[in-house]
Structure 1
Amino acid sequence: MPFLPGLLLAIGIHSLYNHLLFNPLLATSTILVLTPLLLVVAYETSERAMRVWLGTGLDSDVERLELILSGEERLSPIGEYLDSLRHRFEGPILADMLCLLRIHLELSIRAKGTLIARAAGLDLPVDDDVRARLDELRYLERRFRRAGVLACRSRWAPNPPRHRNRPWGVRPRFGRSSSFWSWGSRFHSWD
């Protein structure tokens, strides 16, 4: 329930306003002072979380993708986890899980790079390669169903693949502007 803190804050502000009704001037001035301060705190917190997510997340995503592409993933926590799943799933399914993780990492790196480029003033369009990877990701998620996608989650994956929320934190919106990237619903931290 990511909306719960905002809802509680709105209820608190409304309650404060109603309790200060004995003096409407005091109530209005209090709201006029507190609302901008709360907005500044919310934006600063969001900005700080985005910087952390882009910085540390991008480095670890690149390292994991390099391990997978080099074929040395067996020596990493990813490979150890996939080895632990051998008794539950067949070989082709494990290969598809590795493919799901690879696509997830590629899209994550691409999305973070796009956000960095947009912050620098560049507008990168979403190309057919990204659309093809999104289609393949959806196909693999449907193929695994819930059990397979849940099996991909573990403590080594800070942003595990998810069904509805795009795992890379941002998702492209296809429509009028195919280069528009929107924030996902939340940041994930899996320790």
Structure 2
Amino acid sequence: MDTALLLKLAVALAPVILLLVVFERLDVFRLVSPGSVLAYAAAGAALAALSYAVNGHVMDGLPIGFTDYSRYVAPVIEEVLKGLIIVGLFALDRVGFKLDAAIAGFAVGAGFSVFENGYYLWLFREANLGVWIVRGFGTAVMHGGATALFAVITHEFSEHQAHHQGRHSRLYPWVFLPGLMVAIAIHSAFNHLPGDPLLAMLAAMVVIPITLLAVFSRGGATAHEWLEHDHEGHARMLADIRAGRFADTEDGRAITATAQRFPPRIRADVGAWIELQLMLVLRAEEIILAFERGERPEVGEAEHAEFQRLHQLGRTIGHAARHAIQPHLRFSRSDLYEMHMLRHRVGAGTNHKA
């Protein structure tokens, strides 16, 4: 590979990769593991390959030129495809805070742009260096930023919905629409400047990083406040359960009434199942706060045994009983996300030891 092609490859791929590394490093809570970042980027790359085929098929069937297609149709197709990963992460409670929403979104967009720029470089390797500078510092950053903002805005609307309808309310499709519209608008606006590529590149390189840095600054403070508040609330709830005070609360009475419908052997396990969930959520919050302080807490066999015990109790209680009781525990999406992250860290720790 000649020097000129290597230089083109570097400017086409390096900027968005470096920004992704910077954003991942800014996550002092260590909410998103490097493995997850790579997985999101790989998913984005796969979607770029899919979008190439979809765009080709759709463009052949529409009576419009390439310019109008790139401005009004391609942004919709590509942002919807990238957004599918984010929708899936929210649906599976794999997004807890704006920080990890932004990182996940940017990783998906970065993977998308790396595949797209790499593929175009393979097709048009004779294009001059300026083309790849614009694509690397402009188009690639736009792809990452648009998907990151989609994830951040979706997180904001999902939190607003949860505040009004309950801590773990159902996700309705409208929650995703504002962020998707913003992502499409950014993409379309960028594609409206083919005759002024330097302006498009500068806008992407200035506006998107500054916006995301503001999200990280504000998101970090919000995440800390949320974690501290939730940790206190969960610790108080656990203390109330152990002291017998929780049974006198509205949720405690509802759980007791629900549990009375179960066989005695199941009723005995309900309390242990609830207490163990609270213990694991508290442990997850303690670990995340420790990472913020620069500490590296150990997780391993003890937490692994607790998750196994939780799984066994859940099977004993059954899906119907868990489904009836879970709303009264008032766990938020962030709480469930924290438990998922703890489970992931435990799995990684025990696998490493093995």
- The interval holding the TM-score normalised by the smaller chain is 0.7 to 0.9
Give the match for residue 247 of structure 2.
74
**In 2: Cα distance, 1:139 partner to 1:77 partner:** 28
* Shift, 1:102, TM fit: 0.5
Give the match for residue 112 of structure 1.
285
Structure with higher helix content: 2
The answer on 1:63 being equivalent to 2:249 is no
Give the match for residue 345 of structure 2.
173
Give the match for residue 324 of structure 2.
151
Alignment of 1:1-191 (within 5 A): 1=87, 2=90, 5-6=150-151, 8=180, 9-154=182-327, 157-159=330-332, 168=339, 170-171=341-342, 172-174=344-346, 177=349
Q: What CA RMSD, in Å, does the superposition of the two structures yield over aligned residues?
A: 3.0
Instruction: Assess, with a 3 A threshold, how the Cα gap between structure 1 residues 177 and 89 changes in structure 2: closer, same or farther.
Output: closer
* Shift, 1:48, TM fit: 3.4
Q: Which runs of 4+ in 1 moved over 6 A?
A: none
Q: Could you say which structure has the larger radius of gyration?
A: 2
* Shift, 1:37, TM fit: 2.1
Give the match for residue 188 of structure 1.
none
* Shift, 1:155, TM fit: 5.0
* Shift, 1:137, TM fit: 1.3
* Shift, 1:118, TM fit: 2.0
* Shift, 1:156, TM fit: 5.2
Give me the TM-score of the superposition, normalised by structure 1. Answer: 0.76
Contact 2:300-2:346 within 8 A present in 1 as well: no
Give the match's secondary structure for 1:125: coil
**In 1: Cα distance, 2:314 partner to 2:195 partner:** 57
- Unpaired runs of 5+ in structure 2? 1-86, 91-104, 106-146, 152-178
Give the match's secondary structure for 2:296: coil
How many residues align? The count is: 177
Contact 1:74-1:80 within 8 A present in 2 as well: yes
* Shift, 1:49, TM fit: 3.6
Q: Residue type matched to 1:173 in 2?
A: R
Give the match's secondary structure for 1:89: coil
Q: Residue type matched to 1:48 in 2?
A: A
Give the match's secondary structure for 2:339: coil
Give me the TM-score of the superposition, normalised by structure 2. Answer: 0.44
Contact 2:284-2:341 within 8 A present in 1 as well: yes
Contact 2:300-2:349 within 8 A present in 1 as well: no
* Shift, 1:168, TM fit: 3.5
Q: Residue type matched to 1:25 in 2?
A: L
* Shift, 1:62, TM fit: 0.6
* Shift, 1:63, TM fit: 0.7
- Unpaired runs of 5+ in structure 1? 181-191
* Shift, 1:126, TM fit: 0.8
* Shift, 1:98, TM fit: 1.7
